[in-house]
Amino acid sequence: MTENANSCPVCKNRAAALHHRAGDMLVFRCPDCSMIFQPPDSPPLRNTELITRLYSEFLSEPEPHILLNEDRLERIRGLLRRPLKGLRVLEIGSGSGTLGDLLLKEGAQYTGLEPTKVCHDILIKRYPALKERVKNAYFDQAGFSRNSFDLIVMNDTLEHIPGPVEFLLKLKQLLADDGSIHIEVPSEALIALKGSLRGLFGMYGGYPTNPEHISLLTKRSVGRTLAAAGFMT
């Protein structure tokens, strides 16, 4: 893997340069759109034992997820400005299952995808009502039809996608004509500094960010990504 052979996942510029190195994690930055990313063949992405352990630890306590997703639900309400009851909602990356449970209680017609088995196992055990609603599958395996959702939600998910623009274009086809998409991602600006602080607290098994995060987004690169996919922010 050479440092100048990695195309930017947003603008496809092949001049991305090495931005940060931490062990076997190489992080590149595009000089054009400022996108920060790991190459899709990065070794940390194959560290399945570590990734499984990190998710198990992260989901072990339900209370933080309840508080976090209650706040998220309020932000979604602010985005929609209409009742959630009866809306066809797709959540990609159901994670702890907490938001899915809250959306069901709001009366939404909820469907979820959670491709990570350890997360799927925890969420259906914690929220049995989600068992028939959340598929343990990747998006391309789900077979959704066009215009089948009024709202698509992605929280802490887009950063796991190696081709975020292409992925968002696929999602756009699933939305109704008046549909909306709600996306939240962690900011990876100042990744070197944040990585040092995370290391002090023993986060991410010694990596500066979650080893499964491929698209390391910032406020600027999120805007460029959404614009490239034709979304208005």
Question: At which residue do the structure tokens 């081709």 appear?
Answer: 163
User: What global pTM score does this model have?
Assistant: 0.93
Give CA–CA dist 12/162, Å, rounded.
12
- CA pair distance 72, 122, nearest whole angstrom: 20
Task: Please name the helix (run of DSSP H) or strand (run of DSSP E) that holds residue 113, with its range, or none.
Answer: strand 109-113
Give the pLDDT of residue 233: 62
Distance between CA atoms of residues 233 and 78, nearest Å: 14
Distances from the Cα of 25 to the Cα of 38, 81, 136, 195, angstroms: 8, 42, 28, 12
Tens-level pLDDT at each residue, the chain (233 residues): 444 458 899 999 999 999 999 999 999 999 998 999 999 899 999 999 999 999 999 999 999 999 999 999 999 999 898 899 999 999 999 999 999 999 999 999 999 999 999 999 999 999 999 999 999 999 999 999 999 999 999 999 999 999 999 999 999 999 999 999 999 999 998 999 999 999 899 899 999 999 999 999 999 999 999 999 998 76
| DSSP 8-state class, residue 156 | S
Residue bearing tokens 């009866």: 86
The C-alpha angle with vertex 21 and arms to 16 and 26, in degrees rounded to 5, equals: 55
The pair phi, psi for residue 28, each rounded to 5°, is -110, 155
112 vs 130: CA distance, rounded Å: 8
Q: How far apart are CA 168 and CA 111, in angstroms?
A: 18
In this prediction, residue 163 carries a pLDDT of: 93
Contacts of 38 (CB under 8 A, 6+ apart): 25, 26, 27, 28, 44, 45, 213, 214, 216
